[in-house]
């Protein structure tokens, strides 16, 4: 079994925030792979489906970001899941917008959702880091992550969420590097065609 966790804050006022890109990615996976309806479990919204023929659970903690570990820890203990079976999708300031990296373990880099998960799970769960970029000034980080994606950003964001959803079965297969590579391939800008030179085709 795989437990997919999207990090974010509940409520319509937060749903378009950069900090909620984990929720967005999880929802796109659920829709693409036809997961069941969400129900309230483990202080979160839980749904069930399958990826690559493997049972998968999708969990959105509804505890607010800073206490995400409470919901994930309860779900992991109930289903007796090892950290390797838990994949967390979250925003990453230290990656360029639209870039995705996957890693197991590591520090939380000041991310309060990851800090809470570390406290409840340890550090050996798998992480899909979704780049949102950095505002440049540490003093602006709080406002930046808790503000909506700009209109111009929604083009790459939508393509990225689709790519994550399409590649998600590779996470169930444990092929994290292949997942990241497929997302990068699916979101690569098309090459510009070279202008024809005089005499071409003659």
Q: What are the residue numbers of the active site?
A: 19
Nearest to 109 by CA among 85, 131, 87, 83: 131
- Which residue's structure tokens are 């998960």? 117
Token output for 70: 């409470």
Write the CB contacts of 40 (distance below 8 Å, at least 6 apart in sequence).
46, 62
**What is residue 22's three-state secondary structure?**
helix
Contact 102, 129 (CB under 8 A): yes
- Could you tell me where the DSSP H helices lie in 146-198? 154-167, 169-172, 176-186
CB 75 within 8 A of CB 57: yes
Please state the three-class secondary structure of 40-107 as a single string: EECCEEEEEEEECCEEEEEEEECCCHHHHHHHHHHHHHHCCCCHHHEEEEEEECCCCCCCEEEEECCC
């Amino acid at each position: 079994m795989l437990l997919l966790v999207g990090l974010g804050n509940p409520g319509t006022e937060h749903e378009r925030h950069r900090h909620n890109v984990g929720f967005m990615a999880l929802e796109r996976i659920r829709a693409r792979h036809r997961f069941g309806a969400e129900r309230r479990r483990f202080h979160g919204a839980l749904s069930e489906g399958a990826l690559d023929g493997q049972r998968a659970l999708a969990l959105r903690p509804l505890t607010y970001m800073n206490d995400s570990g409470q919901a994930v820890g309860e779900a992991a203990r109930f289903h007796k899941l090892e950290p390797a079976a838990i994949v967390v999708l979250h925003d990453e300031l230290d990656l360029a917008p639209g870039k995705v990296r996957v890693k197991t373990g590591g520090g939380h880099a000041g991310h309060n959702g990851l800090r809470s998960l570390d406290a409840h799970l340890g550090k050996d769960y798998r992480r899909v880091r979704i780049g949102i970029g950095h505002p440049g000034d540490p003093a602006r980080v709080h406002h930046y992550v808790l503000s909506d994606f700009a209109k111009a950003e929604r083009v790459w964001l939508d393509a990225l969420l689709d790519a994550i959803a399409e590649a998600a079965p590779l996470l169930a297969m444990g092929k994290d590097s292949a997942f990241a590579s497929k997302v990068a391939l699916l979101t690569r800008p098309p090459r510009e065609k070279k202008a024809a030179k005089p005499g071409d085709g003659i």
